[in-house]
């Protein structure tokens, strides 16, 4: 039975690297896959999943209006898909997560979704909340705080490295905008600011 997997972590934990490795494993065995990435993520070339260690692969971009299941089923009709992989899964809508669950349940195609659990305020993203509710398997990818503990939070910082507590939920950035921290150091960063 195909499953819906949610691999989640803080920033800089290697989510995209893990996704690209899983994709490589399927393709190395001659199996077809379909990759999706969020159109809003403009850090790299459009329609590309790229990792910080230099790996990349082309992907179909999605936005809130994209019918992921429809696109996957159309591709599946051309050549059977062994797996669907989704990067930046926090940007999925709840409806899109429902589509992915149906893809696993009804079409028998495993779906591996990779993304952040929480935003820079510690709040769940819509896609992540629905994945936490529906996924058959929840897998935390570990990252490390500056103190050596497990990083679970994403601190947004300004150009001078100061914590940012307000703003839009989605602001695309990498090491220049976000720091992965344990909960203690995340909280202390805001206490020191105030």
Tell me, what's the pLDDT at 44? 65
Nearest residue to 43 via CA among 182, 171, 191, 187: 171
Q: Is residue 60 part of a domain?
A: yes
DSSP assignment of 80-95 equals -EEEEEESSGGGS-HH
Tell me, what's the pLDDT at 120? 84
Domain span at residue 15 reads 4-142
- Using DSSP bridges, classify how beta strands 111-116 and 48-50 pair: parallel, antiparallel or unpaired: unpaired
Residue 88 appears among annotated catalytic residues: yes
Q: Is residue 80 part of a domain?
A: yes
Give the whole-angstrom CA distance, residue 32 versus residue 12.
28
Sequence-ordered list of residues with C-beta below 8 angstroms from that of 54, at least 6 positions apart, any chain: none
Number of domains making up the chain: 1
Nearest residue to 115 via CA among 2, 3, 13: 13
Which residues is 156 bridged to in the sheet? 178
Say if residue 56's pLDDT is above 90. Answer: no
3-state helix, strand, coil in the chain (%, to 5): 30, 25, 40
Q: Stretch 61-82: mean pLDDT, rounded? A: 96
Q: Is residue 187 part of a domain?
A: no
Nearest residue to 6 via CA among 109, 122, 133, 124: 133
Reported as a single tens digit per residue, the pLDDT across 92-137 is: 999 999 999 999 999 999 999 999 999 888 889 999 999 999 999 9
The total number of residues written for the chain in this structure: 194
* Average per-residue pLDDT for the chain: 89
Which residues is 86 bridged to in the sheet? 36, 113
Q: Which of 28, 88, 160, 188 is catalytic?
A: 88
- The CATH number of whichever domain residue 89 belongs to comes to 3.40.50.300
Q: Is residue 192 part of a domain?
A: no
CA distances to 6, 56, 107, 108, 162 from 99, in Å = 14, 26, 11, 13, 39
Q: Is residue 164 part of a domain?
A: no
Q: Is residue 55 part of a domain?
A: yes
Do residues 37 and 68 make contact, with C-beta atoms less than 8 angstroms apart? no
Give the whole-angstrom CA distance, residue 88 versus residue 39.
9
Is 147 exposed, middle or buried (CB count within 10 Å of its CB: 0-12, 13-18, 19+)?
exposed
Q: Stretch 57-86: mean pLDDT, rounded? A: 96
- Using DSSP bridges, classify how beta strands 153-156 and 178-181 pair: parallel, antiparallel or unpaired: antiparallel
Q: Is residue 177 part of a domain?
A: no
Q: Is residue 117 part of a domain?
A: yes
Nearest residue to 153 via CA among 172, 129, 180: 180
Reported as a single tens digit per residue, the pLDDT across 147-186 is: 999 999 888 888 777 767 766 666 655 556 788 888 898 8
């Amino acid at each position: 039975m195909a499953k819906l997997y949610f691999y989640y972590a803080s920033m800089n934990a290697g989510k995209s690297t893990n996704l690209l490795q899983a994709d490589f494993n399927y393709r190395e065995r001659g199996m077809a896959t379909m990759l999706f990435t969020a159109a809003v993520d403009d850090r790299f070339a459009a329609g590309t999943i790229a990792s910080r260690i230099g790996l990349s692969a082309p992907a179909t971009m999605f936005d809130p209006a994209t019918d992921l299941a429809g696109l996957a089923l159309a591709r599946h009709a051309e050549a059977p898909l062994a797996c669907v992989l989704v990067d930046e899964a926090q940007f999925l809508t709840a409806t899109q997560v429902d589509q992915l669950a149906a893809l696993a349940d009804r079409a028998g195609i495993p779906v591996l979704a990779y993304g952040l659990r929480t935003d820079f305020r510690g709040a769940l993203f819509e896609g992540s909340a629905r994945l936490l509710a529906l996924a058959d398997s929840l897998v935390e990818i570990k990252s490390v705080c500056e103190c050596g503990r497990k990083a679970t939070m994403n601190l947004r910082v300004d150009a001078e490295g100061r914590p940012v507590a307000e703003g839009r939920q989605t602001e695309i950035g990498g090491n220049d905008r976000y720091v992965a921290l344990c909960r203690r150091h995340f909280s202390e960063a805001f206490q020191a600011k105030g």
